[in-house]
Amino acid sequence: METAMLDTTKGTFDPEQASAVTLERRRLGLTALDREKSFGGYTLYARQTGGGVVDMVDLEGRIAHQWQMPVRPGRDAVLLPNGNLGYNGSHATSAALYPAWDLWHGGDFYEATPEGEIVWRHEDIYHHHDAQWLPNGDLLYTVAAELPAHLAKRICGGDPRKDGADGIFQSDIVRQVNRKGEVVWEWCIWDHIDPADLPVHPIFDRRHWPMINGVSETESGLILMSLRTTSGVIAVEKASGRIVWHAGADLVAQQHTPIMMEGGTVLVFDNGNLRMGSSNPFSRALEFDPATMQVTWSYTDPNAPSFFSPFMGSAERLPNGNTLICESAFGRLFEVTPAGETVWEFVIPDFAEYPAPVNQFIKGSHNGCFRAHRYSAEQVTWL
């Protein structure tokens, strides 16, 4: 069955009143649907410029449910096994570590019922980027911490002209807290990797090394970590703390959201910034075997540069073998089959500016979100 392309334009179009934002002049909402090949279900996302609104849309792109959370998203939202919403919010008084910190910090976590009642909250002003809500109710996430001075001197690569006058460099600790907010596990990256062994990409700010932007725990007891400014994914054995494998910049480029599949392969959103051997950036959903570091599956657009998110992004394997991809920077959520056929596509139709001080770095009107998640009807029986 050929994918049906749906025109969702409402009313007449007046070119004299068209938005200055290129994306807003293109088709928004549901743009492709193959009901027979799609996994179906509901897609959840939290707009970065939505002021705390979390949307869940059905297969036709209609709002099926919506939450209004107390703060704007730090990153994303998920549905928990009990039907509640797990929300990674942006802390109003997060630590002011360096100028760009407000772009990616979170630190204000909430659990909310479908009706919006807050039943749990956890705050950590040093949290940034990703987090995983574990099956036992604990929360796994990354925090920034000052790199010891003798190790900060070993940071190489990047753009030293952007170094802070105070000489302070931030690094990362992965932390797990229980429902009481107690730290039950921690792992400090500089105890296991010498900064000199992982140089920062050219042109990048070096004040946060290596910036763990994605974290997830596997069923076998590994913690997968995505290293943004150095391009790489590492797997840490939780019980011992040792690094058991490292996929480097020869495989991935500025990637996000590593997730281990049932067969032991790893799925990532490979952003493609400064990709080795490529002068034209493009993104891909990439699956690789950590035992061999060989690519086992990937999706790129037939016109490769047409699919590119320079920041954020996610890929999620669905139960029917399809993959849900979030082209975050442009609010484009789409589902592809193993053969790479697009069977569902939805472009977030809501645009707004980032609030201060983020709008100093990202200007204009945006519809982006950090990650998107798909749930079956059986997972949202409360609808």
**Residue 299: burial class (beta carbons within 10 Å; 0-12, 13-18, 19+):** buried
Cα–Cα distances in angstroms (integers) from residue 132 to residues 77, 94, 257, 353, 371, in the given order: 10, 20, 10, 27, 12
User: pLDDT by residue for the chain (383 residues), tens digit each?
Assistant: 444 444 444 445 677 777 787 888 889 999 999 999 999 999 999 999 999 999 999 999 999 999 999 999 999 999 999 999 999 999 999 999 999 999 999 999 999 999 999 999 999 999 999 999 999 999 999 999 999 999 999 999 999 999 999 999 999 999 999 999 999 999 999 999 999 999 999 888 999 999 999 999 999 999 999 999 999 999 999 999 999 999 999 999 999 999 999 999 999 999 999 898 888 899 999 999 999 999 999 999 999 999 999 999 999 999 999 999 999 999 999 999 999 999 999 999 999 999 999 999 999 999 999 999 999 999 999 99
Cα–Cα distances in angstroms (integers) from residue 181 to residues 66, 87, 138, 274, in the given order: 27, 16, 9, 38
CATH number of 136-275: 2.40.128
Tell me whether the omega of the peptide bond preceding residue 210 falls within 30 degrees of 0, making it cis. Answer: yes
Confidence at residue 13, expressed as pLDDT on a 0 to 100 scale: 60
Confidence at residue 1, expressed as pLDDT on a 0 to 100 scale: 40
Confidence at residue 186, expressed as pLDDT on a 0 to 100 scale: 98
d(C-alpha 176, C-alpha 179), whole Å:
10
- Identify residue 189 by its one-letter amino acid code: I
- Both structure tokens of 358: 């983020």
d(C-alpha 217, C-alpha 175), whole Å:
12
Sign of CA dihedral 355, 357, 362, 364: positive
Confidence at residue 10, expressed as pLDDT on a 0 to 100 scale: 46
In order, the DSSP letters of 208-224 are BSS-EEEEEE-TTSEEE
Cα–Cα distances in angstroms (integers) from residue 357 to residues 96, 101, 170, 328, 363, in the given order: 11, 10, 20, 20, 11
β-sheet with 107-112: strand ranges across:
73-79, 85-90, 107-112, 118-123
The answer to whether 282 and 304 are in contact (CB under 8 A) is yes
User: Whole-model pTM?
Assistant: 0.94
Burial 165-183, CB ≥16 within 10 A → b, else e = eeeebbbbbbbbbeeeeee
Confidence at residue 12, expressed as pLDDT on a 0 to 100 scale: 55
Give which of 146, 150, 188, 189 is closest to 164, Cα–Cα.
146
For CATH 2.40.128, the residue range(s) in the chain are 136-275
